[in-house]
Amino acid sequence: EVQLVESGGGVVQPGGSLRLSCAASGFTFGDYAMHWVRQAPGKGLEWVSLIAGDGSNTFYAESVEGRFTISRDNSKNSLYLQMNSLRTEDTALYFCTKASGWTSDYWGPGTLVTVSS
């Protein structure tokens, strides 16, 4: 059974940093691309970033380009999102997703990031 569990969310001041993690199990982690997708309170879904299975390619939404860095450690079955220079508009529930092709087929429950002074 595929399981994805995010962690690392919390409250941070504007301009601060946070590192999210996602622990994966139930599939051969390194064989699949992974995404981060976020959802602001009461709003729709916003794709954030994608990393290839071997980590060789990464893609970002324009809203986070240059501030967020996606990475993975296939030896630990883990996905990460380093978030720097956080803004109030980054407040959201952040989901880790497994990709099939580029489609997100499994989602974690999410971890909440709140950027507030």
Partner 1 sequence: EIVLTQSPGTLSLSPGERATLSCRASQSVGENYLAWYQQKPGQAPRLLIDDASRRATGVPDRFSGSGSGTDFTLTISRLEPEDFAVYYCHQCATSPLTFGGGTKVEVK
> Which residues, other chains included, contact 65 with Cβ-Cβ below 8 Å and sequence gap of 6+?
none
Segment contacting partner 1 (CB under 8 A): 10-18, 19-27, 55-63, 70-78?
Answer: 55-63
- Can you tell me which of 44, 56, 75, 117 binds partner 1, judged by CB under 8 A? 44
- DSSP result, 39-78: E-TTS-EEEEEEE-TTS--EEE-TTTTTTEEEEEETTTTE
Rule CB under 8 A: is residue 5 a binding residue for partner 1?
no
Smallest distance, partner 1 to C-beta of residue 83, A: 17
Rule CB under 8 A: is residue 105 a binding residue for partner 1?
yes
Say whether 30 sits in a helix, a strand or coil.
helix
Segment contacting partner 1 (CB under 8 A): 12-20, 21-29, 75-83, 101-109?
Answer: 101-109
Beta 103-107 vs 92-100: how paired, if at all?
Answer: antiparallel
Q: Which residues of this chain interact with partner 1, rule CB under 8 A?
A: 35, 44-47, 50, 59-62, 95, 100-110
